[in-house]
């Protein structure tokens, strides 16, 4: 089965053809935004990082930025820097150069201030846009797709409708030799035995237990018990009884296939099939990590209703019940609530999600894209001074 995508020089396939304006440091965020506003066909992001990172944190943030800027949905990137920061445009560009990714650089100090940097940035952005227009969609096998899965604003029905339906779609993509990312490590706690039982080998099985243990250790170090609030009072009121029950509902969105690999935040999988990415459950942080890992489409399930999108990758939203779908129709692409009414099965909703993934990968805009949602947040290890 095919989708229509953009072939990039590094061989990866994009589902969008964006020109990205990316500040490598917070000090360049305003200038990046000004360039983005002046050249509205581009996509720009802001973030609080780029300086003061210690050791592992620098590598962690840099890897995420490189993965994001070098994503196949980015036809060209304008890297905006200040000049005295830790993570410079040149540092990111050095990593991108080897991949064939098209980039340009503007630095505020070198240009002599905001006004001149914005002027130069506008010209470079326009140039990148002009080049991007030559890209054409071609047919590629869906095995080229990496699907990110995420859930947020979950309710008791997420584990009964939207998540298992997304799991059906995930299994279909894995059967077609595609790749699916299951993430949100805190929501694997209590379901490790199920996941490890499906691990391709002992190493993968051990890694699953390691990442959940590390997440718990983090909570202990902070002097809090992660499980003191899981399930939350609202979850319990809604009928969720134990942490195991909550996690077992959350992991259904990854489907039922063999887990081939566990990768770190923003790390690219080297295996096809179902892969776990170690990440916080924070919606935008998790999406950004999966995008930097190479996800070209994300499906996000919600029970309470979440408007979330992402700057360069389409996010398809699936509601778990009819009520939220009726209330937030402009945010939701697919409603899994019919499973409760008996008008649809988990399988049929899963097949609809799968069809939507292919169509969105081929260019159809999601609700979040139409509304202009582009939430962006990079995971920090907290090692900054």
Partner 1 sequence: MNYSALVLHKHDNVATAVRPLTDGDTINVEIGHGTISVVLLQSISFGHKFALKDILHGEEIIKYGETIGRATVDIRKGEHVHVHNVEGLRGRGDRP
Residues near partner 1 (CB under 8 A): 155-157, 159-160, 164, 189-191, 193-194, 216, 225-228, 230, 236, 238-245, 248-249, 252, 339-342
User: Which is nearer to partner 1, 188 or 262 (by Cβ)?
Assistant: 188
**CA end-to-end span of the chain:** 50
Question: Which residue's entry shows tokens 């129709």?
Answer: 329
Shortest distance (Å) from residue 222 CB to partner 1: 14
> CB-wise, 250 or 266, nearer to partner 1?
250
Nearer to partner 1, 174 or 250 (CB): 250
Nearest distance, CB of residue 275 and partner 1, angstroms: 22
DSSP-assigned letters across all residues of 238-298: TT--SHHHHHHHHGGGG-SS-EEEEE-TTPPPSS-EEEEE---S-HHHHHHHHHHTT-SEE
Which CB sits closer to partner 1, 98 or 228? 228
Q: Tokens 């942080």 identify what position?
A: 285
In the complex with partner 1, the residue whose CB is nearer, 312 or 339, is: 339
Residue found under tokens 């993934």: 357
- Quick one: the chain helix, strand, coil %, rounded to 5? 45, 20, 40
Shortest distance (Å) from residue 174 CB to partner 1: 19
Sheet containing 179-182, strands listed edge to edge, beginning at the edge strand earlier in sequence: 259-263, 273-277, 179-182, 146-152, 297-302, 315-319, 334-335
Smallest distance, partner 1 to C-beta of residue 264, A: 23
Given the complex with partner 1, which of 51 and 157 has the nearer CB atom? 157
| CB 353, min distance to partner 1, A | 17
Query: What residues contact 266, with CB distance under 8 A and at least 6 apart?
Result: 60, 63, 64, 67, 68, 288, 289, 292, 293, 379
In the complex, minimum distance from the CB of residue 152 to partner 1, in angstroms, rounded to a whole number = 18
């Amino acid at each position: 089965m095919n989708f229509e995508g953009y072939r990039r020089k590094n061989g990866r396939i994009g589902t969008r053809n964006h020109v990205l304006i990316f500040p490598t440091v917070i000090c360049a965020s305003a200038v990046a935004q000004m360039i983005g506003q002046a050249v509205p066909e581009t996509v720009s992001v802001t973030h609080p990082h780029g300086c003061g990172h210690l050791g592992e944190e620098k590598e962690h943030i840099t890897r995420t930025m490189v993965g994001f800027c070098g994503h196949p949905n980015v036809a060209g990137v304008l890297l905006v820097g200040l000049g005295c920061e830790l993570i410079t445009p040149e540092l990111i560009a050095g990593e991108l150069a080897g991949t064939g990714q098209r980039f340009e650089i503007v630095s505020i100090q070198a240009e002599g201030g905001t006004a001149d940097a914005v002027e130069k940035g506008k010209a470079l952005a326009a140039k990148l846009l002009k080049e991007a227009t030559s890209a054409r969609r071609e047919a590629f096998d869906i095995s080229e797709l990496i699907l990110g899965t995420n859930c947020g604003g979950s309710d008791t029905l997420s584990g009964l409708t939207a998540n298992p339906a997304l799991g059906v779609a995930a299994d279909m993509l894995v059967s077609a030799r595609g790749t699916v990312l299951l993430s949100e490590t805190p929501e694997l706690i209590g379901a490790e035995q199920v996941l490890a039982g499906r691990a391709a080998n002992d190493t993968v099985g051990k890694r699953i237990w390691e990442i959940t243990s590390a997440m718990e250790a983090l909570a202990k170090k902070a002097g809090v018990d992660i499980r003191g609030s899981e399930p939350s009072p609202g979850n319990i009121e809604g009928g969720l009884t134990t942490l195991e029950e909550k996690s077992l509902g959350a992991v259904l969105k990854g489907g039922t296939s063999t887990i081939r690999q566990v990768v770190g935040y923003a790390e690219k999988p080297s295996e096809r099939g179902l892969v776990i990415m170690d990440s916080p459950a924070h919606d935008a942080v998790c999406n950004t990590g999966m995008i930097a890992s190479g996800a070209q489409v994300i499906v996000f399930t919600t029970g309470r209703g979440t408007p979330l999108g992402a700057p360069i990758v389409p996010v398809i939203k699936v509601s778990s019940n009819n009520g939220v779908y009726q209330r937030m129709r402009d945010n939701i692409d697919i409603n899994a609530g019919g499973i409760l009414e008996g008008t649809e099965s988990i399988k049929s909703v899963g097949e609809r999600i799968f069809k939507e993934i292919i169509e969105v990968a081929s260019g159809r805009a999601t609700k979040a894209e139409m509304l202009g949602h582009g939430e962006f947040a990079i995971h920090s290890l907290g090692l900054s001074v």
